[in-house]
Structure 1
Amino acid sequence: MIDRQRRVQSPLGSRIPLASLIQTLAVAEYLNFRHAADAMGVSQSSVSARVKTLEEDLGILLFERHARGVRLTEAGRHFVERVAAGIDQLDHAVRTAGMVARGEHGRLRIGVHALIPGGFLVNLLNRYREEYSGVETELVEESARKALMQVRSGELDAAFVMGTPEPPDCHSRRLWTEPLLVALPKRHRLVGRSAVTWTELAEETFLVRRGGTGPQVHDHIVLRLTGRGLTPSIQRFDVGRSALLSMVGQSFGITIVGAAASVLPTAGVVFASISDEPEPLTFSVVWSPYNQSQTLRHLLDLATRMGRAAKP
């Protein structure tokens, strides 16, 4: 009884061969069995038999036969219109699935530390969008710690962070470096020097962000000055990078940035190198080994190629 009800309630579409539907569409287009068969490279008898079987299964006459060909019945026209729409959707689904599998379509969620015009990351993302225009990229600016948590949870496909993190449950790759600079107010006592030292900065008030690279900048300042037996004065603000540099220009304090940030037009700010900074800032990309997205693979490959090209 259950099987009988299931057969009655289930649509016939689940038992109709796709070839029968496609050949029926061809007949509807050419309104002639022979012409439809020639266009599809099959025999006329095969097309005729498939259409007849379909009509019998449906219990509906789709075509009215006459000497010169066929004509769609009203039921046949209704049926063909909806089957054609369904076939188009199926074709789109197949093509889209193939593009997703090849990394040519889909979505990529990326955590970034900052987006600076002319910087490595902006150039990377611009080139990626040019090469893979079918991929939608979503950018989220987060601290390195939060970004890593989101990579682990699958909320982000990859995160670009300052430093060289090596989390045991994620992969990471070093991509590019930037010299470390100090941002000073235009009227600061150290402006005009070719370079400054950490000791000369020890009495200054450092401004850092709470988000983005702020926590890492904070730790870097503490590491450099406490190593010299000095206690830095650091103030944190919930602002963006541009706003923080504007605060420097208004003499709220100073901050440190990667060299890429020095291209940002900020009134009243002068940048200087730090002569006793032992090494440039390193930036890396982090991703989960469980993420098998081809869109991610393309991004990592492109980032690696650009990173190699950027090395002196």
Structure 2
Amino acid sequence: MTLIQLLSVAEHLNFRHAANALGVTQSSVSTRIKALEETLGIVLFERRHRGVRLTEAGRRFVAEVSGWIEQIDHAVRTAGAISDGTVGRLAIGLHGSIATGFLADLRRRYSADHPAIEQSIIEGPSSHTLAMIRDGKLDVAFIINVADVPDCHSRHLWSEALVIALPAAHPLVRLESLAWTDFVAENFLVRQGGAGPQVLEHIVRRVAEHGRSLRLHRRDVGRDTLMHMVAAGEGITLTHEAGSYVPFPGVVFRPIDDENEQARFSAVWSPHNRSPALRNLLDLATRMSRMDGLTIQAQTMPSLLPVETPGHHETGGVPL
């Protein structure tokens, strides 16, 4: 408080005017300034009949104090912005395409709402991203078909259909949709990293259900390189729907008629992470997930749409 009074007196060069501006008594301001001068052992103001004037030492001291006050004010405002989740950084782990689909929409909307939050993207297999979550090196990871992680929180957000990726020259491309029996004997290509382990597990189950021997090659490559290999005719691969939205030269994506499972994507984070920026991201993701669920329900349940009957008019939306 004393430093604030000091700056007010330095601005008004009058104890009474400074006191009026601060809403305190003139004697209070005068007493505090006098006590500060005695503590410092220097005279800050020359007292005059109609006001005061800063001494040379007083001018230097006020200049330094003003700088301190500005730094403290900046620090307070910065800390407040970080605590509100409007400024800061989010480290996000994933192992799939971020170009399209739910995650791409989520990142775009979050950036629009929180432009001062830097999104740092780290790609890797589930085991790696989960380890980084536990070590505090990642704020959140978006993982496919994750089981319950005992020491982490998780929340299912969205699901995507599984599709098959074929070389453009493959005979099966002439069919608009396929069944597992059409390609179960093909040579499958699977990544070692990313969602590769989950994809491999699913392919193994489907091939075993059809009584066939698995023909598989695991490759330690990224998604783009894997698709290049598919385009070159080295094999086929399984991917999720959002991955098929990005055209890839020489690769054709087809739905699978008898595939009744979907790729389930969940957010995983540490229970010890109290980041407001993370909380805002999860809140937005949850709202988007609920809206997607309502849209899908409205599209797949036309019988629930309001029906107008004589003497009765529905005013609400789709009953849930």
Asked if these proteins are the same fold (TM beyond 0.5), I'd say yes
- Alpha-carbon distance in 1 for matches of 2:156, 2:65: 52
Match of 1:286 in 2: 268
* Offset of residue 282 of structure 1: 1.1
- Alpha-carbon distance in 1 for matches of 2:97, 2:259: 24
* Offset of residue 193 of structure 1: 0.8
Q: Secondary structure of 2:221's match?
A: coil
Structure 2: give runs of 5+ residues left out of the alignment: 297-320
**Pairing 1:170-185 to 2, within 5 Å after superposition:** 170-185=152-167
* Offset of residue 290 of structure 1: 2.2
* Offset of residue 100 of structure 1: 2.3
Change (3 A) 1:37 1:103: same
Is the aligned partner of 1:114 residue 2:115?
no
Is the aligned partner of 1:44 residue 2:32?
no
Q: Secondary structure of 1:190's match?
A: helix
**Over residues 195-225 of structure 1, what are the superposed CA-to-partner deviations in whole Å (9 max), with x where a residue is unaligned?**
2222322232222222221222222222221
- Alpha-carbon distance in 2 for matches of 1:59, 1:231: 91
TM-score between both structures, scaled by the size of structure 1: 0.88
**Over residues 166-209 of structure 1, what are the superposed CA-to-partner deviations in whole Å (9 max), with x where a residue is unaligned?**
11222211111111111111110100112222232223222222
Kept after mapping to 2: 8 A contact 1:135/1:295: yes
4+ residue stretches of structure 1 with deviation over 3 A? none
Is the aligned partner of 1:89 residue 2:71?
yes
**Pairing 1:108-147 to 2, within 5 Å after superposition:** 108-147=90-129
**Over residues 223-279 of structure 1, what are the superposed CA-to-partner deviations in whole Å (9 max), with x where a residue is unaligned?**
221333323222233332223222222222211111111121211111101122122
Match of 1:30 in 2: 12
- Alpha-carbon distance in 2 for matches of 1:71, 1:223: 87
Higher mean displacement: 53-62 or 42-51: 42-51
Q: What is the aligned-residue RMSD (CA, Å)?
A: 1.7
- Alpha-carbon distance in 1 for matches of 2:264, 2:7: 60
Match of 1:61 in 2: 43
Match of 1:99 in 2: 81
Kept after mapping to 1: 8 A contact 2:97/2:243: no
* Offset of residue 70 of structure 1: 2.1
Match of 1:151 in 2: 133
Match of 1:197 in 2: 179
* Offset of residue 287 of structure 1: 1.4
TM-score between both structures, scaled by the size of structure 2: 0.86
Kept after mapping to 2: 8 A contact 1:196/1:272: yes
Match of 1:276 in 2: 258
Q: Using the aligned pairs only, state the percent identity.
A: 53
- Alpha-carbon distance in 1 for matches of 2:113, 2:197: 34
Q: Secondary structure of 2:264's match?
A: strand
- Alpha-carbon distance in 1 for matches of 2:219, 2:99: 23
Change (3 A) 1:72 1:114: farther
Kept after mapping to 2: 8 A contact 1:165/1:172: no
